[in-house]
Chains A and B, each alone.
Chain A
Amino acid sequence: MLTSDGFIRILNLLSVGVLVTGMLILWRRSLLSAVQIFGVQSLLLALMAVWIAFYTGAAHLYLIAFLVAAIKAVAIPVLLSRIIRRLDVYTEIEPYIGVATSLLVGAGLVVVAYFVMQPVADATNLPTHNALPLAFAMVLLGLFITVSRKKAVTQILGFLVLENGIFMLAVLATYGVPTIVEIGVFLDLFVGILIMEVLVYRINQTFESVDTHVLDELRG
């Protein structure tokens, strides 16, 4: 059995790893590699779940970790890569906010997350409390990705990052929500991604582009 101190160190390391992957998604313009980084992030989350399950003995987290690895680290990246290849859209050519600025804003959002979550983190005596702000930062980063990128695929990715943030928060703060809820969320997510895939094809058909800013034309 590891000491509590060792558990926290490994946990913090994994959390920082998740954050770094989030920043990497902001940095990379290549859609394929962004999807791969998302896969890595999901894998890190799965590891984190396993680590917490191992330490706390919450057996259901193993199942959750397996689902995360299977759906978020494998199935969804494969689906998204297929969309990218089929649509022949490989790069986020001109995001609304440039890469350098994006990274700065991302850093700012992390600061905001720390600022906002500090009282929460202080109030608990969970061994995981240091990582809580990082989970919240992922939520904000995910939202920021959807805001600042034009391609529909990247926006889906932003949504997924946001989802990862929520999942991470749940795992860290309460060692996972009840299994049935978590499975429901996965089902939701998976179906949501499938629908988004169909929608992206439709947008591409209609506008010959997957830039969502062309949807402006829809207003009356």
Chain B
Amino acid sequence: MFDATLVLIVLVAIHLAGAVAVYLTRQESLLTRQLNGIFGIAGGVMALILALIGLQRNLPGSGSTVLLSLEGVMPFAPLEFTLDRLSSFFLLLIAVVGIPVSLYSIDYMREYVSHPDQPGAHAYNLGLFGVAYQIFILSMILVVLASTTFTFLFLWELMALASYFLVVFEHRHRDTQEAGTLYLIMTHLGFVALFIGFMLLSGPALVGNTTLSFSELRISALALPSTQRDIVFLLMFIGFGSKAGMIPFHVWLPQAHPAAPSPVSALMSGVMIKLGIYGLLRITLDLLGGGPGWWGGLILVVGGASALYGILYALVDHNLKRLLAYSSVENAGIILLASGAALVFWSAGNTALATLALVGALYHILNHGVFKSLLFMGAGAVLQSTHTLDMESLGGLIKRMPWTALFFLVGSVSIAALPPFNGFVGEWIILQSLLLSLALPSQGAHIFLTLGLGALALTGGLVAAAFVKAFGISFLALPRSAQADQATEAPRLMRWAMGINAVLCLLLGLLATLLLPALQGISRAYLGPDQPTVGLAISGLEVRTGTDFGSLSPLLLGILLALLALIALWGLRLAGINELTRRSMTWACGRFTLSPRMEYTATAFANPLKRIFAFLYQPVRALTIETPGASPHFAQDISYRNPVRLWFEEYLYGPVARGIVWLARRASLVQHGSLHLYLTYILSILVILLVLTRG
């Protein structure tokens, strides 16, 4: 078997060498892209090996071993890396998403090399992109292995900075700069909360101790007074939640994801926001060792609200990547909801249900990583081919980009949690845990968990609607613009990368029973053995929940669905329909020409839901019709705008930002720029000091 420490050293060396190699070859754009992809994939493979070592290890407890302890790299504190079950799982996520995305980036990044036939296009420095990319992946891998406070915070910050530089890669666009700045502000607000949180968590151990390893924190955390533990939890919740994209700290997500190059969006949405969840699980399950029921309740409520808010705004957004970003808010919400439920169950002593909910959360983390990176890669392929993300100018791409369309469809079906794809299994387990929650004795918990159940169910329906819109409007019918009309299929490596993820979506759905025992092992390592009854039992191809409550066999279900499809086809044949395609003119209310302008638009698709949830969106309807003549029936120009209200931006961040500007104005009275004023300060300070120190 491989030696885990050696694997880690090789992994770090690969990414650092990759950063150097990519920078040195920045003049040769093809070589740079290839090197970036190859080093990214090699590092991903190493991470995968490390993850498999960690998951296979049959050690009691959390199965942690110190891999590496580096003294002297940093002047005042050693860097220490430990592999345990939770970090192994997140390593698996990074590897599974990172490898296809690195492959994808090889062909995608040629977007940024200037073409001689496109004189307007600017070249961007792919060398710098490569450096930031390698550092970003490396810091994500190391952050889940970090096992001292200093190591963790250092790498967390490195990850934030590397991703910031990736977000602002298209730095010539003003939108990108603004999105980057917003991201930088939000991530640092979160960092401040984390920093204070870790300091408070250390408690008395902080004095004269720069290492503050997690094993020391585990002991010192038990001795903390309960109010201090509560404050630590709240700070960590804010800090990690802002990275995970939970409301009200989600505002950077819909800005940063569309601004970043598509491989980066895929990594940020697929992996990085999950590390926020990792941090929250590490703190609540491991370091603090559980807490009162309201911790879980808070996570559950905020998670449910994020899920609903995210998907409702995804529904009405017509920028393909921003839609996906809002959907990430929603999925982070689902994961938080399940994690919160697990904590509630755990604090109530029902480890069986806690394990069930946590397994659901972990599985959804992996699933979302796979299908969301697939969808972002698909959106990137569309962007590269058509240079627009506005769904109202897309359409008809299924004829022009059949492979991309197929893979995007697989991603959409997965995210909508339809069997036999992976999204279904994860959400099914989460729903099962919530349905079983009636076993808890507390009435209060019933109310919250039932509300969570409702939120999850409503979210599930809305996700399906949002992705019918995303796929249908973008890929079906006629192209709505010349760019969409001239679209061509994505390059080979991009198709391969998307294909890998699409196959993974199917496999993670059909063969869930192979992976679930490992997740169960992780959960039990922190939560303890199941009691009072069995929560989750995996036998052969079947997953059972509770005691004879629910049962699912994903593989059999898949086979059954395939059979049903065959039977349906056979039935059509019996009915005498031999041709699978039937060509005829679409009825156009008596007009003979069909133009793309008659098509159903994304706005129209979202409108019924916009009306239903008008109390939330508070849409502003602006309709102007210009009629040149006397008759109102011959309109020349009709413009219709119907923007929705962004609650948090308008009512939370707006006033805060205005308050800060107001304070700055007040402060600028002192810092006025007037020479005389500054001289007056000198004179008065001189006189005051002289008078005070006389004697």
Contacts and interface: CB of A to CB of B under 8 A. Distances in A.
Contacts of A116: 690-691, 694
23 contacts: A109-B687, A112-B687, A115-B694, A116-B690, A116-B691, A116-B694, A119-B694, A140-B687, A143-B679, A143-B686, A144-B683, A146-B679, A147-B676, A147-B680, A147-B683, A150-B676, A212-B675, A212-B676, A213-B675, A216-B673, A216-B674, A219-B672, A219-B673
Interface in B608-636: none
A112 B676 contact: no
B60 interface: no
Contacts of B691: 112, 115-116
How would you classify the secondary structure of chain B's contact residues: helix, strand, loop or mixed?
Answer: helix
Nearest to B671: A219
Contacts, number: 43
Contacts of A112: 687, 690-691
B115 to A, nearest CB: 38
B695 interface: yes
B668 to A, nearest CB: 9
A218 B672 CA distance: 11
Contacts of B683: 140, 143-144, 147
A144 B672 CA distance: 19
A24 B687 CA distance: 22
B684 to A, nearest CB: 9
Given A119-B695, A147-B683, A215 B675 contact: yes
A146 B686 CA distance: 14
Nearest to A215: B675
Interface string A22-46: 0000000000000000000000000
B682 interface: yes
Contacts of A96: 676
B536 to A, nearest CB: 61
Contacts of A140: 683, 686-687
B691 to A, nearest CB: 6
Nearest to B678: A147
Give the secondary structure class of A's interface. helix
Contact of A143 (B672, B673, B682, B695): B682
Contacts of B686: 140, 143
A144 B675 CA distance: 13
Contacts of A150: 676
Instruction: Name the residue in B682, B690, B691 with the highest tally of chain A Cβ atoms < 10 Å from its Cβ.
Output: B690
Interface in B642-661: none
Contacts of B687: 109, 112, 140
Interface in B424-482: none
Given A112-B687, A147-B683, A215-B674, 10 more contacts: A140-B683, A140-B686, A140-B687, A143-B683, A147-B676, A148-B676, A212-B676, A213-B676, A215-B675, A216-B672
Nearest to B674: A216
Interface in A96-138: 96, 109, 112, 115-116, 118-119
Contacts of A115: 691, 694
B682 to A, nearest CB: 7
A119 B691 CA distance: 12
A146 B681 CA distance: 12
Interface residues of A, number: 20
- The residue in A116, A148, A150 that gathers the most chain B C-beta atoms within 10 A of its C-beta is A116
A219 B676 CA distance: 14
Given A143-B686, A147-B679, A218 B673 contact: yes
Contacts of B690: 112, 116
5 closest Cβ pairs, A-B complex: A219-B673, A147-B679, A116-B690, A143-B683, A147-B680
Contacts of B674: 213, 215-216
A212 B676 CA distance: 8
Interface string A61-73: 0000000000000
Nearest to A146: B679
Nearest to B682: A143
Contacts of B682: 143
Interface in B262-311: none
A85 to B, nearest CB: 24
A147 B686 CA distance: 13
A201 B430 CA distance: 78
Nearest to A118: B694
Contacts of A219: 672-673
A144 B691 CA distance: 17
Interface in B236-285: none
Interface in B382-421: none
A147 B687 CA distance: 14
Most A CB atoms within 10 A — which of B672, B675, B682? B675
Contacts of B676: 96, 147-148, 150, 212-213
A144 B680 CA distance: 8
Interface in A162-220: 212-213, 215-216, 218-219
Nearest to A220: B673
A96 to B, nearest CB: 6
A140 B691 CA distance: 13
Contacts of B675: 212-213, 215-216
A1 to B, nearest CB: 37
Chain B CB within 10 Å, residue with most, of A115, A118, A143, A144: A143
A96 B672 CA distance: 16
Nearest to A139: B686
Contacts of A216: 672-675
A216 B669 CA distance: 12
Contacts of A119: 694-695
A195 B686 CA distance: 26
Nearest to A109: B687
A147 B691 CA distance: 20
Contacts of A213: 674-676
Contacts of B680: 147
A128 B630 CA distance: 100
Nearest to B686: A143
Contacts of B673: 215-216, 218-219
Nearest to B675: A212
A206 to B, nearest CB: 15
A215 B672 CA distance: 11
B327 to A, nearest CB: 41
Contacts of A143: 679, 682-683, 686
Nearest to A212: B675
Contacts of A218: 673
A132 to B, nearest CB: 14
A154 to B, nearest CB: 11
Contacts of A212: 675-676
Nearest to B695: A119
Nearest to A113: B690
Contacts of A147: 676, 679-680, 683
A146 to B, nearest CB: 5
A7 B645 CA distance: 86
A118 B691 CA distance: 11
A109 B683 CA distance: 10
B71 to A, nearest CB: 45
